[in-house]
Structure formats: structure tokens, C-alpha cells
Structure 1
């Protein structure tokens, strides 16, 4: 099995947030900066399986400035029989870069409409979180 475990915490004395995550072989979470640049969080550990036994998990940390968008998704969005998963992830990165400043519900709807197979063989779940932008006084 695969899994991403992620947590967002406010950063002390800063408008930034801190993302802490561990990835057990799941497709990479994506971060879109306020300027549109998208980063794949490719760091990961082994998958979960009873035959593999217990293993240590690595936690990674990254600061997210105000206006950053974190996108988590299941493999059903990007894996299809006979298709290159990495090409589909690249399409997802492009969509997030171009559409990532839209309201989150619209962003998720557009990604789902563009990338979800009409008859998916696996579950398709998307979760997007945007760090708040504090208005200047």
C-alpha cells in the first residue's frame, strides 16, 4: 500500500506555514507557489506491506509562504493501464501551474474533468489546501 501523511502548522513569528510529510511510495504531493511555480515533493520511503515488516519513516519539512497551494491526490488520478504515469503527473503539474490561482473548488473540478478517466479503475480523490494571504494594512 501507499500513503502520504502530511501536516500543516503555522510558523512562529512568520506568515509562512510548515508542511511536514512522510511518503510511503505514493504519487508526489505538489506545491504551487503564489508565482505559479510547481514543485513535486518526490522524497519517499518504501511502500506498506505486511511482508516488508516494520521500517523507519522519514519526515520531511518545507516552508509554504502565503498563497501557496498544496495538492494531494490518489494514484487513481494519474495511473492508467497502458499510459505513462509520469506523463500524466506532468500534465497535472501543468494544470496546477496554469489554474492554481483559481478558487480551490474550481481548481479541483477542472483537474478532475481533465485528468480523470471516464471509467476509472481506481478511486480518484483530490485534496487542495491554500495557505492564507494576510492583507497588508
Structure 2
């Protein structure tokens, strides 16, 4: 896994008590220290709820909505976010696969780079932003992960450019990832940033890449 951070964005990854891996990427409005502090609060809330409850991603986000209201964090605590959970049932283990389950709160769509080099945009209906409605109904989506597949999460700073259609930037992202399955996650992140957000054009960009590794191999040390 590799990440790139800046103010106003938040990434996290942790293992829950049942052994599942939860990955989070989020973004609040703003680029200042206040935005960074707000994101840190939300990251802590999501991590605590996710670890203690071991709930599915939609349930974690629903409890986060309630916490934002109960703790009176205010409108500054609204954010886009994806909470993703990578788990493996006994049936999954027997078939050598994992299940990726995620819930999306108004965030850019996750992308899967498959081990064969093909790319899938995980285009599922988005729910409302975190902290916007304390009673918001949230939904889970799932897809199968195979060895060598790479989950690619990112913030909108990677794909939003003045005068460029969002669909055009998303298409560029998928084309940039396609066929790059042999790159390490670090090199893949560098390749994407160099193509979509070079130099001064980068704006509040955060990336989270997670690659499914065969069970009998030791995963590389996180960067």
C-alpha cells in the first residue's frame, strides 16, 4: 500500500478484530490547517467505529454521521469518503480470492487494476457526503478481488481540472492505469501523479493503492 497526503485529505488503513483490512480515503473542503484538523477528527472517528464495531462500510459511515451530529462538529465536518473493507470467507480462501466491500459518500469512484492489466471503474451509485444528514441511508457494494489485483483510491484533486470535463479526466486515469499491472504500487502511484497531476498542477491529491498478494508470499513493506 502506498499513500500521498496533503492538507484537507485523509487516508487510513487498519486491520479489524476479525482480520479484515479496512481502507479509508476522504476529503473535506479547504486546504488550510483547519481542514487538516477536521479531517484528522473524522479519520479518528471512522477508525474507532470501524475497529470497535467491525461493521460493514455502510454501517461505519452511518455511525460516523451520528457522531458528527452528536459531537457537534458542525458543517465543516462534511466530507466525501470511501470506506472499503477487504475480507476473506472460508469459501473465498478455498477459491483463492477476497471480497472487496465498500461504501461511497460522494467520493470519486474507486478503480480496480486487474492482474491481467484490464481496468474496472467501480461505478456504483454514490450516497450523500459524510456529516450532511445524520439519518442518511448508506449502501454497500462488493466485487471479487484476485491475486495481483490493485485497488486504486484517490481524491478529486487528481481528476478535477479547470476547463476539463470530469469524464475526460477519469478516462485518462483508467488509460494511465491500463497495462501497468507489473509496476510496484509505489511506481504506479508515481506514474499516475506524473501523468495526471504533474508539478504545480497537483491540487490536494491523495492516493491509496492496495494490492492483493498471494497468501504464500510476504507482502512488501508499506510505503
Higher-Rg structure is 2
Which runs of 5 or more residues in structure 2 are unaligned? 1-78, 217-223
The answer as to 2:154 corresponding to 1:73 is yes
Give CA-to-partner distance per residue, 1:13-33, whole Å, 9 cap, x none. Answer: 231111010111211100111
CA 1:89 to 1:74, structure 2 compared with 1: closer, same or farther past 3 Å? same
TM-aligned CA deviation for residue 62 of structure 1 = 0.9
Spell out the pairing of 1:9-48 with structure 2 (5 A cutoff).
9-12=87-90, 13-48=94-129
TM-aligned CA deviation for residue 100 of structure 1 = 2.7
Q: In structure 2, the residue corresponding to 1:113 is in which secondary structure? A: helix
Spell out the pairing of 1:28-107 with structure 2 (5 A cutoff).
28-48=109-129, 52-107=133-188
Q: What TM-score, normalized to structure 1?
A: 0.87
User: What do you get for the CA RMSD once the two structures are aligned?
Assistant: 1.9
Query: 1:2 is matched with which residue?
Result: 80
Contact map agreement 1:25 1:44 (CA 8 A) in 2 = no
CA 1:117 to 1:52, structure 2 compared with 1: closer, same or farther past 3 Å? farther
Question: Number of residues paired by the alignment?
Answer: 135
Instruction: After superposing the two structures, state which structure 1 stretch, 121-130 or 20-29, moved more.
Output: 121-130
**Larger proportion of helix:** 2
Contact map agreement 2:107 2:126 (CA 8 A) in 1 = no
Q: What TM-score, normalized to structure 2?
A: 0.56
Which runs of 5 or more residues in structure 1 are unaligned? none
The answer as to 2:208 corresponding to 1:130 is no
Among 189, 194, 204, the residue aligned to 1:108? 189
CA 1:114 to 1:51, structure 2 compared with 1: closer, same or farther past 3 Å? closer
Q: In structure 2, the residue corresponding to 1:119 is in which secondary structure? A: helix
Contact map agreement 1:22 1:44 (CA 8 A) in 2 = no
CA 1:3 to 1:94, structure 2 compared with 1: closer, same or farther past 3 Å? same
Give CA-to-partner distance per residue, 1:42-61, whole Å, 9 cap, x none. Answer: 11333226555531100011
